[in-house]
Amino acid sequence: MQRTLIADALAATAPQRDMTLCGWIRTRRDAKDFSFVEVNDGSCLANMQCIVDAGTPAHEALGDASTGAAICVKGELVPSPGKGQQWEVRAAAITVFGKADPETYPLQKKRHSDEFLRTIAHLRSRTNKYGAAFRIRSEAARAVHDFFHSRRFAWVHTPILTGSDCEGAGEMFRVTTLPGAPNPAEDFFGRSCNLTVSGQLEAEALALGLGRVYTFGPTFRAENSNTPRHAAEFWMIEPEMAFADLEDIMELGESLTRHVVEHCLSQCEADIHLFDAYVDKGLVERLQGMLRQPFARCTYHEAIQILQDSGRNFTFPVAFGVDLQTEHERYLAEEHFQRPVIVYNYPREIKAFYMRANDDGETVAAMDVLVPRIGELIGGSQREERLDRLNARLLELGQNAGDYWWYLDLRRFGTAPHAGFGLGFERLLMMLTGITNIRDVIPFPRTPGSLEF
């Protein structure tokens, strides 16, 4: 079907005779001599206003099609005398593909609550807000790929089905083809199988051959944490670099974040302004502010000191050795530094076995990027590349080194300093849109008790 996208039609520099637009009716107003039909096709936030003269075949064909109907309009693109738009279409012919019964079509009103729209996730991309959110999601993904390709990273595809149940990043979903509580030895793979919580271990293997790699794909965590920042299925970006240290990935994480913000501010202007106007006043200013100055940096030690000196009564008390909770992370980024902050050198006890031990014997070369309103956006580290240290750490944690044979091989054969991180893509989108619930930045969210679509 030959058609012009509304985004392109609205950018026209001259009138055009024969134009075909397809989309869904957002609103229809009938006057005596004509009908105004606002059509949206998802290519941009704006609608195209179509004028259908009464008594014409086009008007006849339009019939009683109303909000929600899918139609095709052929006609002339002409300057609009009305306010609010530069162009409009004078319809010469109309096809109605599918009507939407006004009695039952759920998107009649102009505004609906986010909670209601979650119950109709299959329709919500037809609203301004969710159309905008998912267009920004697409542009942000493009920016991520552009960023890594410009730095010569290879995009690698790590497995979603994993035999390792010991990545330590969270509770896993079990995958089986057998009923009941099966014996893994009799199952499809002859061993237990889970959905991946992170592609990191495989990305490390690939980085130690390709040099610089990144993953960008879905990850799964079965934590029963019903928070606005956790989803059971979310997308993660995990770069991994050979011949790199903690400093290198701090720089990488900050540059990546800034690049995506910059790209979306310039490429999704109308969509981001919608969020600034209706969802999070001050969003654009905050994003621009992020670009004006470098991210703050402080060690975990300093962060604890700042929190203790804050005089705040946190729900989770602060002491050296505790893991930072969202309330602490947000205090640091939102109130103390008032911008993103990179906290590094965490105590080894609260971090994963693969993080590189610092010489102080107490901390590891880990870093988290914390951002206002969200908390943790990025978590990463330099990896322990010394075989003896890694073995000792596994032993200390009571882990079976045999389960990690291939991971340890990477330290046996040509080991090299390397480092990487994971960035939660939905958290990044929350930052870019001001949306406060992760369920609203992913089209079909998976959270405890919720798997309708």
Residues found near Mg ion in the complex (CB under 5 A): 379
Q: Which stretch binds ligand 4AD (CB under 6 A): 5-13, 140-148, 176-184, 230-238?
A: 230-238
Is residue 380 a contact point for ligand 4AD (CB under 6 A)? yes
Q: Are 20 and 73 in contact (CB under 8 A)?
A: yes
Q: Which stretch binds ligand 4AD (CB under 6 A): 276-284, 306-314, 371-379, 407-415?
A: 371-379
Q: Contact with ligand 4AD (CB under 6 A): which of 48, 69, 169, 272?
A: 169
Biggest CA–CA distance in the chain, Å, is 85
Binding footprint of ligand 4AD, residue count (CB under 6 A): 21
Least distance (Å) between residue 185 CB and ligand 4AD: 28
Q: Are 54 and 32 in contact (CB under 8 A)?
A: yes
Given Mg ion, ligand 4AD, none, residue 268, with its beta carbon under 5 to 8 Å by kind, binds: none
What are the distances in angstroms from CA 225 to CA 67, 199, 231, 350? 38, 21, 8, 19
Q: Contact with ligand 4AD (CB under 6 A): which of 421, 430, 441, 445?
A: 421
Is residue 263 a contact point for ligand 4AD (CB under 6 A)? no
For residue 233 the two structure tokens come to 């299925």
Cα–Cα distance, 291 to 390 (Å, whole number): 38
Is residue 204 a contact point for ligand 4AD (CB under 6 A)? no
Q: Which stretch binds ligand 4AD (CB under 6 A): 9-17, 26-34, 228-236, 326-334?
A: 228-236
Residue closer to ligand 4AD by CB (options 94, 241) is 241
Is residue 28 a contact point for ligand 4AD (CB under 6 A)? no
Given Mg ion, ligand 4AD, none, residue 65, with its beta carbon under 5 to 8 Å by kind, binds: none
Cα–Cα distance, 334 to 196 (Å, whole number): 32
Using DSSP bridges, classify how beta strands 48-53 and 154-155 pair: parallel, antiparallel or unpaired: unpaired
| String of DSSP letters for 336-374 | ISSS-EEEEEEEGGGS-TTBPBPTTSSEEEEEEEEETTT
Cα–Cα distance, 393 to 390 (Å, whole number): 5
Cα–Cα distance, 266 to 262 (Å, whole number): 6
Is residue 238 a contact point for ligand 4AD (CB under 6 A)? yes
Least distance (Å) between residue 380 CB and Mg ion: 8
Q: Which stretch binds ligand 4AD (CB under 6 A): 281-289, 400-408, 419-427, 442-450?
A: 419-427
Is residue 442 classed as helix, strand or coil in its secondary structure?
Answer: coil
Compute the radius of gyration of the chain from its Cα atoms: 26
Q: Give the residues lining the site for ligand 4AD (CB under 6 A).
A: 169, 198, 200, 221, 230-231, 234, 236, 238, 376-380, 420-422, 424, 426-427, 438
